[in-house]
Chains A and B, each alone.
Chain A
Amino acid sequence: SQQGEEDPQALSIQEGENATMNCSYKTSINNLQWYRQNSGRGLVHLILIRSNEREKHSGRLRVTLDTSKKSSSLLITASRAADTASYFCATDYGGATNKLIFGTGTLLAVQP
């Protein structure tokens, strides 16, 4: 399976702390994306990083990509209770499609 693997599977932190989630994938990619899923809802796109980028920021989010290790990490700084959700990485292997392969997800719980 090409599906990415994420770790940890679950993470519980206190409000104000930083949360780091990791994603590993198997073959060369065009880009890697992170999505958030609140309980009972659809997935929402957070950020995209291309294969030629190493780091990207968006608000309290920081994404890194290490193509030599085929891994990415998502850092959420100064977490809030509203950040409680599942987070998925998704890889785009390129080609003339918009097809993504989603990872297994990390369930983040931020305690107030």
Chain B
Amino acid sequence: DAGVIQSPRHEVTEMGQEVTLRCKPISGHDYLFWYRQTMMRGLELLIYFNNNVPIDDSGMPEDRFSAKMPNASFSTLKIQPSEPRDSAVYFCASSSSWSQQEEQETQYFGPGTRLLVL
């Protein structure tokens, strides 16, 4: 398996523009997580899905952020409009509730999207 795939790997945009980050989880995984990592705040959970349904979006910072998972193999995180304080590395991770026990509780991370909003 190719692991969790994220695109783009780097994104530079101007304040006010819409940004869309994409994630393809590991095939067969039923949980998908979106995280944001900054020096100041560390690794923050933004939202997670189970079987394509959003379960907890309490970490989404503002209405400017939205996430969707239209099917089991694709998710997007959208920021509209973007602001300089959104600059961070955004990670997607997936896990499976069907694996053998220790693997079941393990999250597999993508390489991240490094976002810079000017």
Contact = CB atoms under 8 A, between A and B. Distances in A.
Interface of A: 3, 30-31, 33, 41-45, 48, 88, 90, 92, 97-105
A101 B110 contact: no
Nearest to B6: A42
Given A43-B91, A98-B31, A98-B97, 13 more contacts: A42-B93, A42-B109, A43-B93, A45-B108, A88-B43, A97-B31, A98-B48, A98-B104, A99-B45, A99-B56, A100-B45, A100-B107, A104-B42
A92 B45 CA distance: 13
B105 A48 contact: yes
Contacts of B48: 97-99
Interface residues of B, number: 25
Contact of A98 (B91, B95, B110, B111): B95
B112 A97 contact: no
Q: Interface majority SS on B: helix, strand, loop or mixed?
A: strand
Interface in B86-118: 91, 93, 95, 97, 102, 104-112
A3 to B, nearest CB: 7
B12 interface: no
Interface in B31-73: 31, 33, 35, 42-43, 45, 48, 50, 55-56
